[in-house]
Amino acid sequence: MSEIVQLPQGWSKASLQDVAVWSSGGTPSRKVPDYFKGNIPWLKTGELGDRIVCDAEEFITEDAIRNSSAKVFPKNSVVLAMYGATIGKASILGIDAATNQACAVGITDAVTPVYLYYYLISQTQKFIDAGKGGAQPNISQQIVKAWPINVAPMNEQIRLVEKLDELFSELDAGVKELKAAQIKLIQYRQSLLRSAVEGSLTEQWREANSGSIRESGEQLLVRILTERRERWEQQKLADFQAKDKKPPKNWKEKYPEPVRPDTADLPELPAGWVWASLSQIGWLDRGKSKHRPRNAEHLYGGAYPFVQTGEIRSADQYIRHTEKTYSEEGLKQSKLWPKGTMCITIAANIGETAILDIEACFPDSIVGFSTIIEDMPIEYVEYVFRILKHKLNDEAPATAQKNINLEILYKEVIPLPPVVEQLTIVEYLNTKLENIKHQKKATALGLKQSEAQRKNILKSAFSGQLVPLDPNDEPASVLLEKIKAEREALAKIPKPRTPRKPKKKVDVMDTLLEVLTAEDGWVDAQEAFKKCGIVDETSTDRIEEIYTELRKLEKAGKIEIERNGGYDQLKLITQEVKED
């Protein structure tokens, strides 16, 4: 759990149970809503992380405390998350508060609360690595209590904490500036894209080149529409010829006109620009993936790149390789799209875009768009879509999973500048966005380095290398012996009995399967473990036995595990018996 380190004079090796008295909380029954209408703060692991916690999302009553394993811990207790995605998070209570059973709570006596807090966060990754359990990583109270800690003399603890506060204050200020820079870069990127599609980005360029623009946006649209119709007619004639048929009378009248843009509520565009619908300026069609199931093995492993929606979202404008490829069989039930096609996601992450830099296939959750005329840059349309993304998401029907269809895309409207200005916009954006990308990488690297520096500082602190030693300090071993003697003396004093409401007797069962069989529906995981006899003093072997059974039941598909707030819920999967 910890590296072997030669400790300085006056320091001692100990365990967490030597420096604090540990316990855990509990969850009052959710079947009694009134339990959660009190004024006692009740913390869950998801609320941990800040150094000091002074508030809670939920509050419970005295009755809830009396009728559950929940208990109120005093201010300055140190709380550690033991379960799930929050494992290893720690905080100091800034108020008297109760917690759920996923929190280990230590009341310090041989170390200061802040010293223990800093030590716990220095161990976060090690706690995660030590996690055990089925669906979620877990550590037990026994693991927490036995966890090693390097204990400095009390006076040195105070000096060490002051130094850590000083160093982390400077580090936190730098991190705050880096995160603020990240936000500003995102905002600048959005304003840059917006200025591009509104025309202000190239305003000075238009003034300087007003006499040399030979084709306006309106003239360009006329050229595109003419080309669109001609290509449709050529394709229809080719179809007739392939079928050895003579074109019927008035066949040209069946030409599917593109959607005209609705410009009623649209802003005025710069001179030489015009509004156009996507269906006017390009071809739109959904990807193909006809075979069911879609993950059939024989469809994959060939020479044809297969684009997935996640790859569009993570692409840096262009898709140059894919994780999966289609085989010949996969290609037969799909379609190979040409290089230069813009991919648009229409389900889940709506409106994400990327341009194919390779020939590739993609499923029907992606729409392909290509411009009608070759001299119009597809990159311009892709940049416009980065602004349209939020609008498309708003237009998606409110279903279980949002999605849009071709009809929505057909009528989507974009500003159409002259081709020469589109090329200029793309060139400007390429340069400026590349600069932003470099700045984002620099800030991300700065944050990564800050986190590494934080870990190095903590490592240095708890190996006795951060602050100078004082030979006059009382050794930690003396304090630890005093604390041990005090605890032993306190344990011999008879505890006064406080009358409590009688609790419902819990029958201890041998296996988790017995407990879940006896329950009707979902049961809190910790309550289930308690019914198996798992309490704070239970042996590690017994705990491991129950966790092993949990993993086996999950692997066999006999139980469901569901995350509810900061704790797990378990449920036995009942098998339906068919009648003869």
Within this chain, domains 12-153+474-492 and 214-224+269-417 share the same CATH topology: yes
Q: What is the pLDDT of residues 196-227, one digit of tens each?
A: 999 999 999 999 998 899 999 999 999 999 99
The phi, psi pair for 256, rounded to 5°, reads: -80, 105
- According to the model, what pLDDT value does residue 516 have? 85
Other Cβ atoms within 10 Å of 115 Cβ, number = 25
| Domain residue ranges in the chain | 12-153+474-492, 214-224+269-417, 512-572
Q: What is the pTM of this model?
A: 0.74
For 12-153+474-492, CATH number out of 3.90.220.20, 3.20.20.70, 3.40.1190.10, 3.90.76.10 equals 3.90.220.20
Helix (H, G, I), strand (E, B) or coil at 28: coil
How far apart (Å, rounded) are the C-alpha atoms in residues 213 and 513?
78
What's the CATH fold of domain 512-572? Answer: Arc Repressor Mutant, subunit A (1.10.10)
- According to the model, what pLDDT value does residue 567 have? 64
How far apart (Å, rounded) are the C-alpha atoms in residues 82 and 128?
9
CA quadruple 58, 61, 66, 71: dihedral positive or negative? positive
How far apart (Å, rounded) are the C-alpha atoms in residues 175 and 533?
46
Other Cβ atoms within 10 Å of 379 Cβ, number = 20
Residue of 117, 98, 106, 105 lying closest to 50 (CA atoms): 117
Gyration radius of the chain's alpha carbons = 33
- According to the model, what pLDDT value does residue 550 have? 82
Domain formed by 214-224+269-417, architecture: Alpha-Beta Complex (3.90)
**Which segments in the chain show pLDDT lower than 50?**
1-2, 503, 576-580
Other Cβ atoms within 10 Å of 121 Cβ, number = 19
180 HSE (CA, 13 A, CB side): 6
